[in-house]
């Protein structure tokens, strides 16, 4: 059991026979009345977002989420195949289950497959990925004092804003949590 006063981002718990993940939380201590915890929760199975207020002493059952490392092999249309590196079993997942991870997915990449009681509900890519720029407009010399950026298409098809000095063929590091450019590699 975990109390609402111990909530942090990423904590998963069971409530009303559903599994929720804390997306945002805020401990509020008003001038009058008792303190409370305001949260934004995401249902890990359906993806629905819910805002709920808890008493800090309220207890909920912590959910055990299994994270298993798997290797991306290939895709066959809308189905993507991952291999368990220990048992060599293959797991097919569709586009909806992968979500934004498709923007960063490269052959042979190791990702974490998330499941609850044997049901897969999502995947976690590495925190940072290095992708090659396949198309971008040329930057103009001397136009760097404004911190300007330009769109660049990466090898996965994902489009991200990059600084003007980034060119076709450069590798860039992307933060998969925010989807933003970090640095040129």
* Domains of the chain as residue ranges with CATH: 2-62 (2.30.30.30), 66-124 (2.40.50.140), 128-184 (2.40.50.140)
Looking at residue 154, its pLDDT comes to: 94
- Distance, in Å, from the CA atom of 18 to the CA atom of 50, rounded to the nearest integer, reads 12
Instruction: Provide the mean pLDDT of the chain.
Output: 88
Looking at residue 26, its pLDDT comes to: 92
Report the pLDDT averaged over residues 56-77.
90
Q: What are the pLDDT digits (tens) for 160-174?
A: 999 888 899 999 999
Does the pLDDT at position 53 exceed 80?
yes
**pLDDT confidence tier of residue 134, bands split at 50, 70 and 90:** very high
106 within 8 A of 93, measured Cβ to Cβ: no
Report the pLDDT averaged over residues 15-26.
89
The b/e string for 115-136 (b: 16+ C-beta within 10 A; e otherwise) is ebeeebbbbebeeebbbebeeb
Give the global pTM.
0.72
- Distance, in Å, from the CA atom of 86 to the CA atom of 77, rounded to the nearest integer, reads 26
**pLDDT confidence tier of residue 72, bands split at 50, 70 and 90:** very high
Report percent pLDDT > 90 for the chain: 45
Per 3-state DSSP, the chain is made up of helix, strand and coil in percentages (nearest 5) of 5, 55, 40
Looking at residue 120, its pLDDT comes to: 84
- Distance, in Å, from the CA atom of 150 to the CA atom of 138, rounded to the nearest integer, reads 9
């Amino acid at each position: 059991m975990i109390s609402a006063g111990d909530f942090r981002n990423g904590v998963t718990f069971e409530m009303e026979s559903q599994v929720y993940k804390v997306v945002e939380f805020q401990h509020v201590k008003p001038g009058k009345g008792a303190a409370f915890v305001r949260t934004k929760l995401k249902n890990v199975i359906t993806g629905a977002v819910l805002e709920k207020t808890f008493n800090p002493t309220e207890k909920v059952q912590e959910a055990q989420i299994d994270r298993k490392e798997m290797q991306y092999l290939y895709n066959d249309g809308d189905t993507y195949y991952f291999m368990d590196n220990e048992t060599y079993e293959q797991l097919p997942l569709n586009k909806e289950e992968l979500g934004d991870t498709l923007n960063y997915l490269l052959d042979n990449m190791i990702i974490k497959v998330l499941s609850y009681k044997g049901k897969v509900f999502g995947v976690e890519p590495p925190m940072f990925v290095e992708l090659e720029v396949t198309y971008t407009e040329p930057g103009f010399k001397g136009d760097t004092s404004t911190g300007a950026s330009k769109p660049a298409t990466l090898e996965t098809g994902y489009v991200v804003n990059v600084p003007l000095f980034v060119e076709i063929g450069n590798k860039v590091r992307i933060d998969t949590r925010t989807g933003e450019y970090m640095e040129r590699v």
